[in-house]
């Protein structure tokens, strides 16, 4: 299985959609978020420059590539043969994919792996930054919650639609 780059590109926008809700003033946006990150009202109303949005999309795409490796277990088999798709079309490789090639390709499985990635990667990195930037536990929880939801949704989409079978 190889990644479906169109789906991965679309997944790059999921964190923006989640942020629109998560950081809305009714939830953690507005005064709560400004206080946690140390922004004034004036600073928070400043538009983000397009170049920064493009960089954010590229960073989200890198996250989607990593989640594809974690959620699409069939890519591990592809890696074992050095990316040689022909090796998986005959013999043992073909038999293995015929037996197991469609396992775990559903939204729920990817959702679980997204949560797992958040716990195993995001939480330690955010925790470390929170400690040494002298931020509050609330800052950690707000950011961790955002990334957990984002990665869970991205993982779900990738597991369900983000792989291209080797035929």
- Domain parsing of the chain, residue ranges: 2-164
C-alpha Rg value of the chain to the nearest Å = 19
Going by C-alpha positions, the residue among 16, 40, 37, 17 that lies closest to residue 28 is: 37
Going by C-alpha positions, the residue among 120, 113, 118, 116 that lies closest to residue 143 is: 118
Output the pTM of the full model.
0.89
pLDDT digits (tens, 9 = 90+) for 52-107: 999 999 999 999 999 999 999 888 887 888 878 888 888 888 888 888 888 888 99
pLDDT digits (tens, 9 = 90+) for 14-27: 999 999 999 887 88
Q: In terms of C-beta density within 10 A (0-12 exposed, 13-18 middle, 19 or more buried), how is residue 50 classed?
A: exposed
């Amino acid at each position: 299985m190889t990644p479906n780059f169109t789906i991965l590109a679309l997944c790059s926008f999921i964190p923006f959609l989640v942020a629109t809700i998560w950081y809305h003033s009714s939830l953690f946006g507005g005064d709560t978020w400004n206080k946690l990150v140390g922004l004034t009202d004036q600073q928070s109303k400043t538009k983000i420059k397009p170049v920064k949005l493009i960089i954010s999309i590229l960073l989200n795409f890198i996250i989607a590539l990593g989640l594809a490796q974690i959620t699409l277990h069939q890519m591990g088999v592809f890696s074992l043969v050095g990316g040689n798709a022909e090796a998986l079309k005959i013999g043992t490789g073909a038999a293995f994919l015929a037996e197991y090639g469609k396992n775990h390709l559903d939204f729920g499985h990817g959702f679980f792996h997204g949560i797992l990635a958040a716990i195993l990667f995001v939480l330690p990195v955010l925790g470390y930054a929170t400690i040494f930037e002298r931020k509050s536990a609330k800052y950690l929880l707000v950011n961790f919650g955002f990334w957990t939801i984002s990665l869970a949704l991205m993982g779900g989409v990738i597991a369900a639609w983000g792989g291209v079978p080797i035929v």
